[in-house]
Structure 1
Amino acid sequence: MLALLLAFAVLHSGGAALRVWGEERIGARAWRLLFAALSIPAAVVVIGFFIAHRYDGLRLWNLQEQPWIVPLVWVGTAISFFFLYPATYNLLEIPALLKPEVRLYASGIIRISRHPQAVGQVLWCATHLLWIGSSFTAWACLGLIAHHLFAVWHGDRRLAARFGDAFEELRSSTSVLPFRAVLDGRQRLVLAEFLRPSQLGIAIAIGVLWWSHRWIGVAATAFNRSPLGALLG
């Protein structure tokens, strides 16, 4: 699991680091398509392997019979998705239907945390580890969180190099820890900025995921029976 996560981190963060270099040579759209063509299959492999082996190793705890665990896990997971997928604000840039651009955002969820995906990943890991309780899942969460902590540093470094003083101004008015900038007066929340069509899309995706979780056992079996599952063990 850690080896797969490391490979994905190198591919994903490495692609982000090479974005300027790649766009200069093949263009923004072609680079986005190449990046997606490599990243998406790699993410599918990581997710498939995790689903297939999530209960491997030692069972550290089992809270699944507790009446409070299901609503807690689902509410926490739902909130994590609103942090994990701010890229849906520019959904058409993902398949390069619109020209992909690097922007500085200072509104919406960025007011809560400058790195919402890291916050969402930590919350997702916390809820799923609480539900599953296996040593395999603990190691997977450790790897995921380590990658996102690196991405916090890496992302700030790339934006500082690209935007200079404009990013330093953004950095000074935001925080990585959620709500820290709001609590110390550097930032304020504007409710209207959160009422966007993309938020409805995320809510629909959460509903679909809720429904599809009944098929997780089937997905795990199918992955294990596939040539890739057999290769990864």
Structure 2
Amino acid sequence: MVEPRPAEIRNSAAMYLGMVSLLEKHRAPAIAVDCLELFYTQKMFAYPCLGFFQLNNDGLVGACEADLTSASTMLLLRYLTGRASYISDPVIDTAKNQIIYAHCVAPSKPYGPDGPECAYEIRDHSEDRKGAAIRSLLPLHETLSTLEFVSYAKTVVFHQSRAVDNLEEDRACRTKLVAEVRDARRLMEGWDFGWHRVTVYGDWKTQVAHTAALLGWKFVEEG
């Protein structure tokens, strides 16, 4: 633990217990919270990042920023792969041909609840330096599949990359997984269907393409 105070950890724990109660009440496997809006308007006393971290490690889905498109993508990936995934914002570096998958929460069990656990740090939330968030030090030198099931367009956007670094940089979101891509400029210029993407460890291209075909949706490779 780096910046957060004990009171912020207790608040995050209470938030987690509240989310678990809601999931049990509605017999639901996933939850999404409008975290930034509610926290900034002081309608919520803690960020859900630590709770999402635990839910995703435990085989459920906790999704940031009330992003239902990404939440449904994470849930589908859970069923398809048995693995945890995470939402990220893209930071594309055309000079290095890399992308950074950045967010303030990511699982420490990217291979699923029974898989090995990676190291992580409990940090404050980067945008406002408040609350508690997660910096996961995710596995390197492995293939990543990054995608979004976009229901309103009946399209699945998909690209692959290779994890090369966990960037330690105080700016932007706490978890920053750096990955090499095929063509960073083409990826950037062709980016569509919103800001967020969902990343999961492994080569799942065939399975995702087949799922898109079964749905009757377009499968679009980015980059």
TM-score, structure 2 as length reference: 0.30
**Structure of higher RCO (CA pairs closer than 8 Å, 6+ residues apart):** 1
Instruction: Choose 1 or 2 for highest CA Rg.
Output: 1
TM-score, normalised with respect to structure 1: 0.29
Quick check: which one's helix share is greater? 1
- More strand, by proportion: 2
